[in-house]
Structure 1
């Protein structure tokens, strides 16, 4: 039983009605009051009367506690405790996020809630509201940042071709980073060419006139996200490594010439130039040419030049010799008697040897042979006086054919 407490003493007793306002009482609490009247003989107490104070808003409502859920950057777990002074009958709780009250309430037995579908790596504040019939109290806010996750929607890197061997690549941070960017990684045709926190990189040592694919990977502590691939082509450069043409002798007057494009065209080949002994004989895009109207038994040299818009490359020299054929243009020998039994025979080489001439052989009596080709005078001896003779000179090349006159 609580000790009685004198709240007020009235000494002006002439009134008919007395009034006193009792303050600093607790809400939703029963109190008993009585009146004690004094005179010179003593005092008399009235009977006790019980009064219950009205409900009021709760007091001592602590801020909620907010927790991360493991590996879940989009959910938060909120818990709270009842107010220290309920000041009435607790009816319900309400929850606020960023000063916006949820459209639903919680019964008094519920002291936790999982907030879902939140933005990753975003600051949120939560406050709890406790209500009685006497009013509601809002706690101080509790602030927390959601966990990091991989960035959202990484944009295409921007590509600018600088030269035949360089491409400049630049990029921007994702609009929704979902965390602190820890690094950017740039892949070129699947090969890592840059890692760091910069926003550009000059990619060098590339091949001319080659298309490259670039992918940007952006990472936070919560994961990484790749951009769609972006492609760019380096500029053209003069072609390199042109191999010598292949030659196929197809007769005594023709050679077939074939070739391949340069190992590194470094661009679009606009034309090929074929030269024979330094003279231009073909311009075009074909890689085969049949060279006719050549001379038999002659060695020819061929080169091929490949051209693009940036320059050209000429192949090494290829050599081929046409097949020989029988000499042509052989004039009759000139005969001049020099005595009763001697005749001088004179002849010229053929107009066209059509190959390498073998020793010139005049048809003579056994044991007599002529020298090699050239203007020659050969004496014929042991002939009968005043007789008619017919002789021929034979010129021979490396071919099995022969011509005579």
Structure 2
């Protein structure tokens, strides 16, 4: 069924039979009033009626009409137009329809039975103003000239206009058929504030509004926007509602226990307008989210528990409940609690529950330990002397560790350090139970003790004693020989640099002959000739053997020469005498000579 150029066309195809009925209307329907159109098929007669006008066609071959597809009113969707090219479909219907009914059944309410609508106002005509109609005598001259196109402005929005072109020359004129066009909608004006809103829960609200008044055009969609009160001008969330017939919508994605300002935006194809004012609403409380697990400052026998408020409280926190090993141990509004009387370094499971008036939420469970202490007791290490320079150390793990064993430390001192300075010779986290100490000194007494450490500190054992096997001394020093008289020496020496055991005796050799063998560190040698040269060497002995030190030479002090000095003279002339003499029998040192001469001497004039 088409209404085109003043003709109501009925096209009917049943099987292979095609029937067409044309009812001439002219411009009789362009009077701004309602027109009733009836199309019927009774047997072989197909008829069309509008108001008082009627036209019918008899077609004996026409078959029974069965409708088993959707009925399209006002136009055909683009996706199926290719199947009906013979109909010459043009722009869809522009105008108003009401009281649509079929042979069987009551009047159809298009708003309730339609499955889809495109740019259709299902609430009736957009305007009752029918001052402009399409009768020929009421047409207005838009353009006169020789151009073949014209642009007309100052038209009413979303209004249908009829146009035709009249071509004139000296021989007369000819007119085109009437064609219609509709102006686009305008942007909605005076969009109302939502009339009512109620919370579905803390995360969504249902909003109701009234249809905007005075909208010229078809409302394509509504948009609900929620802004945080006193917050940024960017909406927190929005909902786009494509069904413009619905005046209720749901806004989701809100935050519980928050004040919101809700606005309504109405959109036509020309654009959108948001309401100037907003409806204020507060979402209710919900159970908290992101409840943080409790933390603790650990002590050996108690835990100082603390926790932070939930990252998303969703309301006012009414209480916290702290669970330890599944048992509630605290309930209240505080954020700290001391758990007492706990074992050292013991694990405990903790869980925190935070509650609002709407409900409670648990944190994830966390395992916390009390603090570590040093081991209660550490046994002294067991020492085994392997040779003169090596000691093998063994120990046992402490019975009460009081934590996680972290490392072992071995301390050592010797009698050379008066057993007061302890040196660390082993410090390892490998947690082995033995260690070999190399490069020690033979015949030396060592004190060795063990420290076992946890995160809470270290405990040190009593010291164990071991003496390395003796060896021959090393670093025997050179003796120091001092002569304070012409016939004797005071000879002294120190201990070897490395005794390598207990020194049993010291031997002093003078001129290769053992002069003294004792435990003394000095010797007095006498009965020597003045200024005589002697060699000295010290020998140090342990149970394992003896070692000699370096050789040193020294002289006794000088004494007065002994014996006569024989002098011989030879006269060399009237003025010269040559003297010669023999050394004394015992010089007793470095001798210097002095010649004394008496008598008369010549003097140069």
User: What is the TM-score with the length of structure 2 in the denominator?
Assistant: 0.34
Q: Greater Rg, structure 1 or structure 2?
A: 2
Q: Which has the higher contact order (CA 8 A, sep 6+)?
A: 1
